[in-house]
Amino acid sequence: MLSSVLVTGATGFIASRIIERLLARGHRVRGTVRSPKKPGDIDRLRELTGARERLDLVESDLILPASFDAAAVGCDVVMHTASPYAIDVSDARGELVDPAVNGTREVLAAASRAGSVRRVVLTSSMAAVTDEPDDRVLTEADWNTKSSLDRNPYYYAKTMAERAAWAFMEESKPPFDLVAINPFMVIGPSVTASLNTSNRLLLIDLLKGTYPGILSLTWGIVDVRDVAEAHVRAMEVADAHGRYLCVGEAMSMRQVVTLLKSSGYGGHKLPALSLDSGIATAIIKLAAVTQQKGTGSYLRSHLGRVPRYDTTKIRTELGVTFRPGAETILDTVRDLQRWGHLGN
C-alpha cells in the first residue's frame, strides 16, 4: 500500500536516504527543512528519482511550537529523524536536550492533531540503549541510565527524547502507534554534500591524522542505507512494534586502520602508534580530563570496551539484513573523496 509520508529534517544524513528509499518504493513524501529556498543539499533532494512528482519540501523548525502541524496534515506516516547531533557543546541542555525532547513532543502532537497518521517511526539511537558498552548482550529491553548533562550529554539527549516519545504514547493515547529504530554508529555514502558527524569522527579524523595513535575503541557499525531500509520496513510491516536495535558488525579502530591501509589508503595520515594496550588505555582515560567535556566523557566510557548486541528482532520481524562493515567503510571513503572531504 502506497503512503503519504512526512520526514522531518529532510536534508539530514539518515533522512535523505529514507526519502530516497521511499520515493523508490513509490510513496509520496513531504520533507521538512528549515528553509526550502536554501540551495545546496535541498537541490540534491529535488534531483532524486521520483522527487519531481512525489516530493514536497516545507518549512518547519524543531524549536518552534506547532511548527509541524501543517506538514503532518494528510500524512499516513511520520518519520521523525530531526535531532541535533554534537559531542562537544557549551550548553548541553539548550543545544541538545531541549531541542531533541521538545521537538519530539511537537512532532508527536502534530501527528495526533492531524488525525490521518497511523504510525510514527522515530529515529532514536544506541545512545538511548547504553551509555557505555559492558559485558551484557544488549537488546531492545535495555535503556541508558547513566548519561547526564555532564556525562555523554548527546547520549542523554537521545535517551530523554525517546523516553519522551513513549511517555507521550502512554499519556496521550494518540490514534497511531510508535516504532523506534535504534541505530549504532551510522556511516555510509551521503545523498548530499554535507559531512555528517559519524563519517567525520570515524573516517575523516582517522585519515587526516586527528587521532594520536590507534586507540582501544570499538564501534558497532551500520550502513546508512540499511538504516533507511529499516525505517521504511518499520512503516510497511503492519506488525512492527516497539524498539529495534539497528547495527551490523563491531569493528575496532585497529581493524579499520588495517582495512584502509590494505585498500590503498596508506598514503593518508592514518595512526600508526599502538595505544590500544591496557596500560595505554588507562593512561588515555586519565588524560581525557584535559579534553572538552563531551569528548572526555566519551573516551572514559568507551575506551577498552566492546559493544555486544542481539539484532534478532530487526532481522526476523522486519527482515533487515546488514552490509559487511568493510564494504560500508570503503564505500564511505570513496564517497568522501567524491564530495571532496578528503582534499587532494
Query: In this predicted model, what pLDDT tens digit does every residue of 24-38 receive, in sequence order?
Result: 999 999 999 987 777
- How remote is the C-alpha of 59 from its chain's centroid? 22
Please check whether residue 31 is in contact with residue 58, taking contact to mean a CB–CB distance below 8 angstroms: yes
CA-only gyration radius of the chain, Å: 20
Q: Note the pLDDT tens digit of each residue in 179-219.
A: 999 999 999 999 999 999 899 989 999 999 999 899 999 99
- Please give the pLDDT value at position 1: 75
Q: Note the pLDDT tens digit of each residue in 79-123.
A: 999 887 666 677 878 888 998 999 999 999 999 999 999 999 999
How far CA 184 is from CA of 24, 133, 244, 252, 263, in Å, comes to 25, 12, 11, 14, 24
Whether 272 shows a pLDDT value over 80: the answer reads yes
Q: Note the pLDDT tens digit of each residue in 294-315.
A: 777 888 888 999 999 999 999 9
Give Cβ neighbours of residue 43 (< 8 Å, ≥ 6 apart).
none
What DSSP character marks residue 33?
E
- Please give the pLDDT value at position 190: 97
Bridge partners (DSSP) listed for residue 186: 222
How far CA 316 is from CA of 126, 233, 245, in Å, comes to 19, 12, 12
Whether 255 shows a pLDDT value over 80: the answer reads yes
Domain ranges of the chain: 4-196+220-247+308-322
Q: Could you tell me the pLDDT band of residue 138, with boundaries at 50, 70 and 90?
A: very high
- Please give the pLDDT value at position 293: 74
The residue among 70, 64, 66, 65 whose CA lies nearest residue 56 is: 70
Grid cell 602508534 in the structure block, residue: 273
Active site residue 173: no
Please check whether residue 30 is in contact with residue 6, taking contact to mean a CB–CB distance below 8 angstroms: yes
CATH numeric code, 4-196+220-247+308-322: 3.40.50.720
- What is the spatial distance between Cα 105 and Cα 80, in angstroms, rounded to a whole number? 10
Q: Note the pLDDT tens digit of each residue in 31-79.
A: 999 877 777 899 999 999 999 999 999 988 777 778 899 999 999 999 9
Q: Note the pLDDT tens digit of each residue in 148-189.
A: 998 888 899 999 999 999 999 999 999 999 999 999 999 999
Options 38, 158, 261, 285, the catalytic residue: 158
- Please give the pLDDT value at position 336: 97
Whether 286 shows a pLDDT value over 90: the answer reads no
Grid cell 575506551 in the structure block, residue: 303
On the CB side of 273, CA atoms within 13 Å amount to: 8
